[in-house]
Amino acid sequence: MIDKLTRREFERLVGFTMIGSSMPSLGTDAEAGPFVSTSEDSRAVYEANRETQPGALPPWADVVAGRWANASKATLLIDMSVCHPVSALSPQAKTGYWQVVPYELAGGTLGKLLWAALEQRAPEIRLPLRVKGWHAIFVGIYATVLGPSTLWLKLDGDVSAQPRTSEEYAPYGSFTEVFFKVAELNDTTLYIKQQSAGAAFSAGLVNVKLIPLSNEEISGFLADRDQRTTRRLATTNDGVGYLINHRPTTVEDLLREVEVFRHTDFGTLLLHVGGADGLNYPSQYGHMLSDHMDGYVYPDPTYKQYGEAVRELAKKGINPTKVLIEGAHALGMKVHVGIRPALWTYYEPLQRFFDSPFYQAHPEWRCVDRDGTPVARMSWAVPKVRRHLVDVLREAVGFGADGAHLVFCRGVPVVLYEPSFLEIFEKRYGEDPRKLDEESDPRIKQAWVEVVTTFIREARAMLDEEQNRRVDGKHLELSVMVFGNEYNNLLYGLDVRRWVTEGLIDEIFLDQWGIGSKKAGVDIDFFLDVCRPKGIPFFPSYTVFSPPAYDNTISQALSWYEKGVHGVVFFDAGGEKVAQGTVVSRLGHVDELRLRDAKESGAPKPVVQIRFHRLGNLVMDGRFPPIGGG
């Protein structure tokens, strides 16, 4: 059993000097280090973190509290019962309230944390910070064995809140210290909210640490924040997940989805509208997903949350796609709105939710495989199908986007052996393609290339028309997300070389794990050969986390940059994993990559844990803590 820390050991670890046994008042300067530990190894790590090495990353790029120059001058707010309104607080866990729980840390510090269980539906509360100047803000987040704890945080003047989460559960008797942001404070108020809508989470706030920046840190941070040369990262947003997970019903709720990209290296948002013509807003051309669920049971509570969100937004006249376009523009991001050509319907029990009326009305225009098997796609060999999708894109771009995007890695095939294609092929070659070998006869894929390229030309023409209609005359871009090598792309008629040669597309994004790929790997040299002569940027795909199937590393990203790649793209990046201060948020800082561990993936690092001595009326760090029966 680990021995209890003495007061002096605790003070040395956290840099917080105790005066007698009294609790410091709010606003008192406190030397607050990153964690409380009872192991010599952890102490060594802490001491190493405090040192500033030549050539080391700036503290806002590798955020550990002890690395800031003035970490010893931090203000530590530990009594969360001073939050307003007081009427939102209760000593008991009750619906509509935050529960106040007294605690004591290992060194004798007394405080009060706030807790809201998953279904507690606690209201938004406010904490006055009572300091001035530039500060690095950290929050202590408490979680239990029941699951992670998430807080939505924002300051006065912030457009919307950002999430911060503990580990899935904090080790028994501890809480997690999490970086929020760097901000200039002026007796600013911190707003704290539980996520009760959508995928609800419990929420626990233990303390707030405010570290004043040195003059050198202020100037360095501002210079880094205001430059744009590193904004070489792009991300997709599938247009569905955030409406399920958060059930937003206001403009501020929606803006949470892009607020996490503020002051990061993300410069491009590839905003999917939902499906092929399934959208998250009422449309003249497509249909709003869930709009024909009246009288039917949703297949899952999460899809019901989506339906409730988009319907309430539509009733209020709020278009989520338009709001995200405007929100991203306010951050200096470029936005391409995109469709997923394959998503016309889905298998049960999701069919009614996703079913496209256009798809259902025209079975004669669907794709058909060479053996006659019907395929749940609409054929681009049919001019009216292409026109329908161009109209969907035209409407979405008209909300103010900077271009259109085609998500081929979620949308092939778009042409097979249906009657419309047979007619094209037989007219050109005088043969039935179903009687030819698909692998050995190049004419089949070449005919598919002609069909797909025809659509690309039509989309390009639509963007040119929209560009001429706009007052600013700014060039509207066409981008594609394709497979990572030429072989996989040509399997489905995607001739990237031809599109670039004809000047049809402006940017290319690669998906290493696209649905339908047959050959593994990303051929960077092929895309360099195709894109570099025409000055077309292309972006290999990365991942925000690192499950076993993905092996992206810092060294891989660096090797891409050194070869001449413009940037990297993430599929559905979002939330705190990409927010200010994370490794992912700074993957556009190429010089910084050389200072990081080459084996890192950008996955979240092990977090800082702080131990409780007493929680409520229970001692947590004695020889026999209150966990043995669990």
Q: What is the pLDDT of residues 68-89, one digit of tens each?
A: 999 999 999 999 999 999 999 9
> Which pLDDT band, with edges at 50, 70 and 90, does 170 fall under?
low
Specify the residue for token string 């640490």: 209
> What pLDDT, on the 0 to 100 scale, is given for residue 115?
96
The one-letter code for the residue type at 73 is: K
pLDDT at 13: 35
Cross-strand pairs, 82: none
| Bond before 301 cis per omega within 30 degrees | no
Least confident of 31-40, 53-62, 371-380, 539-548: 31-40
Q: Read off the pLDDT of residues 438-447 as tens digits, 9 standing for 90 and up.
A: 999 999 999 9
- In the predicted structure, residue 435 carries a pLDDT above the cut 70: yes
Tens of pLDDT, residue by residue over 177-226, are: 999 999 999 999 999 999 998 888 999 999 999 999 999 999 999 999 99
> What is residue 410's predicted lDDT score, i.e. its pLDDT?
87
Q: Work out the pLDDT band at 548, boundaries 50, 70, 90.
A: low
Mean pLDDT of the chain: 88
CB atoms within 10 A of CB 125: 21
Using omega within 30 degrees of 0 as the cis cutoff, is the peptide bond preceding 548 cis? Answer: no
Give the pLDDT mean for 518-540.
Answer: 94
> Above pLDDT 70, what percent of the chain?
88
b/e burial code for range 533-563 (CB count within 10 A of at least 16 → b): eeebbbbbbbbbeeeeebebbbebbbebbee
Q: Which residues, at least 6 apart from 226, have a Cβ–Cβ distance to it below 8 Å?
A: none
Residue 221's identity, in one-letter code, is: F
Is the pLDDT at 169 greater than 80? The verdict is no
Domains and CATH numbers, the chain: 7-224+607-618 (2.60.120.260), 231-539 (3.20.20)
Tell me which of 14-28, 407-421, 438-452, 536-550 is least confident: 14-28
Tokens 């919307």 belong to residue: 160
What span, in angstroms and rounded, lies between the C-alpha atoms of 406 and 393? Answer: 10
Kindly report which listed range (2-11, 125-134, 476-485) carries the lowest average pLDDT score: 2-11
Largest CA distance in the chain: 96
Smallest Cα–Cα separation from 413: which of 373, 351, 457, 367? 367
Q: What percent of the chain has pLDDT over 90?
A: 73
DSSP collapsed to 3 states, 147-211: ECEEEEEEECCCCCCEEEECCCCCCCCEEEEEEEEEEEEECCEEEEECCCCCCCCEEEEEEEEEE
DSSP 425-460: HHHHHSS-GGGS-TTT-HHHHHHHHHHHHHHHHHHH
pLDDT score at 513: 76
Residue 424, C-beta contacts closer than 8 angstroms, at least 6 positions apart = 381, 447, 450, 451
Would you state the pLDDT for residue 516? 86
Model confidence band, residue 605 (pLDDT cutoffs 50, 70, 90): low
Judge whether residue 231 has pLDDT over 50: yes
From residue 98, give the alpha-carbon distance in Å to each of 3, 327, 622. 33, 31, 28
* pLDDT band, very low/low/confident/very high, at 10 (cuts 50, 70, 90): very low
